[in-house]
Chain A
Amino acid sequence: MKNSARFEPVKNIVAAMPLGRLDGVLIYTFLYLPMAVLILESFNASKYGIGWQGFTLDWYESLAADAEILAAARNSLTVAALSATLATIIGSLGAVGLQRYRFRGRKFLMGLLFVTLMSPDIVMAVSLLVLFIGLRLELGLFTLWLAHTSFCLPFVTLTVHARLQGFDNALVEAARDLGAGEWTAIRRIVLPLALPAIAAGWLMSFTLSLDDAVVSFFVTCPDFEVLPLRIYSMVRLGVKPEVNSLASLLFAVSLSFVLLAQWLLRKNRE
């Protein structure tokens, strides 16, 4: 009795998919097995990943001793924090503006946000490279910041905008009638409501920036390397067990940030 109760959730998951049951099991396995194997390999003492030769933390230790990787990690975290912050500020303000005001070009702005969201990384990468070279900007931290902010922006804006759907503008008007300034009314009424979505937007942007390889590849110079580019050149140079541990660490960061963001958004809805 007790045993079957413990397995109830698992049984529910399987029973919940009448049509796609087999499909469901196959797809979750397909999505997670390669990542699980990679994480397992990152603790494998065998240098070439042939068979299990015992548990080791060697590959993590050699990561921590690799000056190039540490520099790339520092760069990646800097770019991610800066871009997530700027995108969150502009995106959240934009979402409030889109919700509160009816202005000329509003539809066009929504369209542009949607196109930015849907456009493949490579198109954005090429166009930003052309812009930055045209403006004679030196490729590096600054150009990465501008580029990452641009692809994070629609995610923040649409997340916060979704949160504000159905919000009654009369509340802000009432506060205004009572003598509050526009900014005070928005800060006191709209901002607290939007805060979980704003926080989730920041976390998602941080992950997005940390994981980007395509755009970064085009808009930075070899002197300012970020982690995905480091992985790319390590992979091209040949199999190194350190790639497994670096990739596992990135999985861990994305996983915790995404779960936190999901939790914030769900709490949001209740």
Chain B
Amino acid sequence: MTPKPEAFKIASAGLISGWLLLFVLAPNLLVAGLSLLSRSPAGFAGWPATLDNYRRLTDPVYLHVFAESFATALVATLLCLLLGYPFAYGLARARPRLRPLLLTLVIVPFWTNSLARIYAIRGLLAAKGEVNHLLLAAELIDQPVRLLYTQAAEIVGLVYVLLPFMILPLYGSLEKLDPRLLEAAQDLGAGPFQRFRHLVLPLTLPGIVAGCLLVFLPALGLFYVGDVLGGSRHLLVGNLLKDQFLEAQDWPFGAAASLMLIGLLLAFLALYARAAKRIAPDG
């Protein structure tokens, strides 16, 4: 007995829609609702509805955490962009025969355990680690310096883990860039800076926005980078969320903080849609 065409349609399109509605959309709506409730003595949340959780986000204690975490994430994102852009450009212009190999070398770290990679960075930055060892050997310092548990260590760790997330979308948009456009611009007398400013930059803007999104938001959330490299003095928004949900058990407040990240995500996505629309109005 062959099932009706409709049966397969429901199994294919229906199953995935149902899954995403139940496990992606519904949970985020729950978080949004939760952020408007009060903390209840039973542990989770209860009435009355309130905006207090959002008011508390502006409390100086938390503002300080946000400011520091945003600054850390911003520096990490800019470093990834500065390192990743020329690299992705070179990758997109590499010989076609070599490109798969070069690309795979970027993709492998993208998929390897980031906690293990953070641990590798910790080993290098430790007081008796290789970086101090090299600096001592080069006689740049005469005492091991403290590299771990600093904001700089956190930034190095974030750049290390997230750089491939910047490179891959940049590569995606740079690869599509038609070299004939650049030649045409050159023939018309545009210098390298003008070509970059008026052609390369706007055409690769979607890749830039996507890369920044994929670096900046995780950089706020990767709590183990804060723990393992930043120590207890340099917390990320992710550490705050972890504390509120798993230790302090203040779910409504944690939900409000999480909603701030969702808001940022949506803002980035809107920016991306605008940048993509500008270069391909039909697509």
Contact = CB atoms under 8 A, between A and B. Distances in A.
Interface of A: 9, 12-13, 16-21, 23-24, 26-28, 30-32, 34-35, 37-38, 41, 48-50, 90-91, 93-94, 96-98, 100-101, 103, 105-106, 109, 112-116, 118-124, 126-131, 133-134, 146-147, 149-150, 153, 157, 181-184, 186, 204, 207-208, 210-211, 213-214, 217-218, 228, 231-232, 235-236, 239, 243-244, 246-247, 250-251, 254-255, 257-259, 262, 266
A244 B119 CA distance: 8
Contacts of A183: 2-3, 7-8
Which one of A27, A122, A157, A258 has the greatest number of beta carbons of chain B within 10 Å? A122
A18 B91 CA distance: 10
B13 A258 contact: no
A103 B111 contact: no
Interface stretch (B49-57, B58-66, B220-228): B220-228
A94 B15 contact: yes
Contacts of B182: none
A120 B116 contact: no
B107 interface: yes
Given A19-B90, A121-B218, A255-B112, A37 B245 contact: no
B76 interface: no
Given A13-B102, A235-B122, A266-B100, A126 B258 contact: yes
Nearest to A97: B12
B4 to A, nearest CB: 8
A116 B87 CA distance: 28
Nearest to B28: A127
A251 B113 contact: yes
Contacts of B158: none
B261 A123 contact: yes
Interface string B246-279: 1000010011001001100100110000000000
B13 A130 contact: no
Contacts, number: 284
Contact of A120 (B44, B105, B221): B221
**Mostly helix, strand, loop or mixed at chain B's interface?**
helix
Which one of A31, A106, A157, A266 has the greatest number of beta carbons of chain B within 10 Å? A31
Nearest to A122: B221
A93 B15 contact: yes
A50 B241 CA distance: 36
B246 A208 contact: no
B36 interface: no
Given A247-B119, A266-B100, A214 B90 contact: no
A21 B104 CA distance: 17
27 contacts: A12-B98, A13-B102, A20-B90, A27-B83, A27-B84, A32-B109, A34-B117, A96-B12, A97-B14, A101-B9, A106-B13, A109-B20, A118-B214, A120-B265, A123-B217, A127-B258, A146-B23, A149-B19, A149-B23, A182-B7, A182-B8, A211-B112, A228-B113, A236-B227, A254-B112, A255-B112, A258-B107
A116 B123 contact: no
B253 to A, nearest CB: 12
A237 to B, nearest CB: 12
B120 A37 contact: yes
Given A96-B12, A243-B119, A120 B220 contact: yes
A9 B95 CA distance: 11
Contacts of B228: 235-236
Contact of B128 (A48, A112, A258): A48
A93 B108 contact: no
Given A31-B164, A91-B16, A266-B100, A258 B86 contact: no
Contacts of A214: 221-224, 238
Interface string B8-41: 1101111111011101111110110010000000
B78 interface: no
A112 B19 CA distance: 11
A140 to B, nearest CB: 15
Nearest to B95: A16
B15 A23 contact: no
A35 B16 contact: no
A122 B13 contact: no
A94 B12 CA distance: 5
Contact of A103 (B9, B20, B93, B261): B9
Contacts of A128: 23, 27
A211 to B, nearest CB: 4
A255 B30 CA distance: 37
